[in-house]
Chain A
Amino acid sequence: MPDQAQRTRPVAPGPSGGGEGPSAPKVDKPNVEELLKRMRKVDPDQAKRYRQRTGQ
């Protein structure tokens, strides 16, 4: 049985916009190369240490 993440993964858009999934985006894709490099430096465990108390 697939886990929740696999089940919630969106269908990849096809180049022609066909199929069951959403069609290819028509907005310009942002250049996120630098951002992807920054993401590699994000501590994979930081969320494990991030503990808050319940608020409103």
Chain B
Amino acid sequence: MIQFGLETEFGITSDHDGEVDVVAESIALVRSATEPGVWMCWDYESEDPHVDMRGFRVRELRQDTDEAKYFAQDAERELSFVEIKSDLVLGNGARFYNDHAHPEYCTPECRTLAELVAHDRAGERILMACAQHLSDKRQRAVRLYKNNTDFFGHSYGCHENFLLPRALPWEILAQGMQAFLVTRQIFAGTGKFAIEAEDKFLSPGFQISQRSDFFSELQSVDTMQRRPLINTRDEPHANPKSFRRFHVILGDANMSPFATRLKVGTTALALEALVLDPKRSYPKLADPLSALTAISRDPAFRWETLLDGGSRTTAVSIQREYLAAAKAVCDLTMPEKRQLVADWELVLDDLETDFMKCRDRLDWVAKLSLVREFQAAQKVPDDDPWLQSLDLEYHRLDRTEGLYYGLEHAHSFQGVPEESTVRAAVKHPPSTRAYVRGRCIQKFASAVISAQWDHITLQGTHGPIRISLMDLFAPGDVAEYARVIDAARSPDDLRIIGNVAS
């Protein structure tokens, strides 16, 4: 079974005279958190983002060229690396921290799409509570946006992570997923009223994806500059002999829970099909990088593209091939997966016959429909910068002000989880290894020495107790660990499942 999680970087600004220092704002936001957790214990020693899936290690990662102008400002910060990061690991198993210049919320590892959608939303609630707290304290508003651009060519990501067996060869994985990832934007895009390039606004105009302007490589380990369609970072956060983590960096940050579920769920199904039938043939695009922007910017919404060999097809047809593979190969006994397949098929049908039918499910259609209606009513021309302001407002996290939430309150969206489910996800971890992390933090926060995705270490009477999560994926094993933690009265009781360092 494939497990997954999301890591979302949010945009941040505040009512402030002059230019906003987004790094300072991001640090202050994270430090405004009131949810219980452990601070600044993230174990960076065991991370290495330089290792490449293709069997080598790069010397350095590319930084955005525009970042040079911030060098002096960053050098003046009288904070250590750990203080700038301000990591908080929460009782629901999530990680919340300042990633460079953005507040980032990483959901705990999830086993079901219902868990994932609830935890993605839980992150929104936690960040909004921080913004409210900080705004009250300063008496000036802090605003958060779940989007992927500032319309000046500065993009930030919503990454997806999928745990896969190492036995699936990288070449088959990377090649098999390429056409899927390039074409899934037809339902996973959030829409954008701008055409951009790295560090540049190019022109007004609508396209279906926020991120597609920012990819220029087929494969690489980088994530900030010259971003690749397929990220090759080999950092499994699990036993590297058994697992690999497929790190998807080209997705948009969806507001619609339906779109989040469809984006992650269909990707997980496509991966499952590859794992179960690695010899199956999938479409190969003639020019994947050109196709990414051409599909996103297609004014006719027909999304035609060329296959290797010269034949013409459409993004919908390519998606139908992956859908057929999922139906033929994947285990669809879980009701959640059967529903996902039905929703995938219906969305493809609707996109092909009348994309406006999807405005109750997909972000880009809902945004386009709403803004076009406003333009017609107010006679706003297509090149008016107001459209970018409205676009931004769609992604505002404030549930009383944001335009997405306005649509949701008008009952315009399918697939919205119950608020009680979201509130539960703010407090409680899902039924994966994240349960171990979350419950240790809930019960013994003051004893936690360090945490990572693949371990948590607590101080015991006779030394540190390190609980490895490297191989903890089978539900039966998670249940056994959960039983021990639920019964534990002190960290020492966790020695049964941990190793005591000498």
User: In the complex, are the beta carbons of B64 and A46 less than 8 A apart?
Assistant: no
Q: Give min CB distance, A26 to chain B, whole Å.
A: 6
Q: Which of A1-35 contact B (CB under 8 A)?
A: 3-11, 13, 17, 22-27, 30-32, 34-35
**Given A17-B354, A54-B224, A56-B224, A8 and B157 contact (CB-CB distance below 8 Å):** no
Chain A, residue nearest B49 (CB)? A56
Smallest CB separation, A54 vs chain B (Å):
4
B389 at the interface (CB under 8 A from A): yes
For the complex, count residues of B whose C-beta is within 8 A of A.
77
Assuming the contacts A38-B406, A55-B9, asked whether A26 and B151 have C-beta atoms less than 8 A apart, the reply is no
Once A35-B403, A35-B406 are accepted as A-B contacts, the answer to whether A50 and B390 lie under 8 Å apart by CB is no
Instruction: Tell me whether A43 and B206 are in contact in the complex, defined as CB-CB below 8 angstroms, given that A3-B383, A5-B382, A53-B70 are known contacts.
Output: no
Whether B385 and A48, one on each chain, are in contact in the complex, defined by CB atoms closer than 8 angstroms, is yes
Interface size on A, residues (CB 8 A): 41
Also in contact, A32 and B100, with CB within 8 A (given A8-B206, A8-B299): no
> Interface residues of B: mostly helix, strand, loop or mixed?
mixed
Residues of A within 8 A of B206 (CB): 5, 8-9
B195 in contact with A4 (CB, 8 Å) = yes
- Stretch of B109-117, B372-380, B425-433, B473-481 lying at the A interface: B372-380
**CB atoms of A32 and B13 under 8 A apart:** no
Whether the Cβ atoms of B389 and A27 lie closer than 8 Å is no
The interface residues of chain A lying within 8 Å CB-to-CB of B406 are 32, 34-35, 38
Q: Is the CB of A56 within 8 A of B154?
A: no
Contact call A54/B64, Cβ cutoff below 8 A: yes
The segment from B18-26, B81-89, B458-466 found at the interface with A is: B18-26
A27 B360 Cβ-Cβ under 8 A: yes
Q: Is the CB of B389 within 8 A of A3?
A: no
Q: Choose one: B152, B300, B368, B412; the contact of A51 (CB below 8 Å).
A: B152
Expressed in whole angstroms, the Cα–Cα distance for A56 and B231 within the complex equals: 11
List 17 interface pairs A-B (beta carbons < 8 Å), by A numbering: A4-B204, A5-B204, A5-B387, A9-B299, A10-B355, A17-B354, A24-B354, A27-B357, A42-B393, A43-B389, A50-B150, A52-B12, A55-B99, A55-B100, A56-B99, A56-B159, A56-B224
B residues whose Cβ falls under 8 Å from a Cβ of A: 9, 11-13, 19-20, 22-23, 64, 66-67, 70, 99-102, 145, 149-152, 154-157, 159, 193, 195, 198-199, 203-207, 223-225, 249, 297, 299-301, 353-357, 359-360, 368, 370, 372-374, 377-378, 381-393, 401, 403, 406-407, 410-412
Residues of A that sit less than 8 Å from B by CB: 3-11, 13, 17, 22-27, 30-32, 34-36, 38-40, 42-56
8 shortest A-B CB distances, which residue pairs? A5-B382, A55-B156, A4-B205, A47-B388, A30-B412, A53-B101, A54-B64, A44-B386
Kindly list 17 other residue pairs between chains A and B, CB separation below 8 angstroms, not including A23-B354, A44-B384, A51-B152. Answer: A4-B203, A5-B205, A5-B387, A10-B301, A10-B372, A17-B354, A22-B356, A27-B360, A32-B412, A34-B406, A35-B370, A36-B374, A39-B390, A49-B13, A53-B154, A55-B99, A56-B156
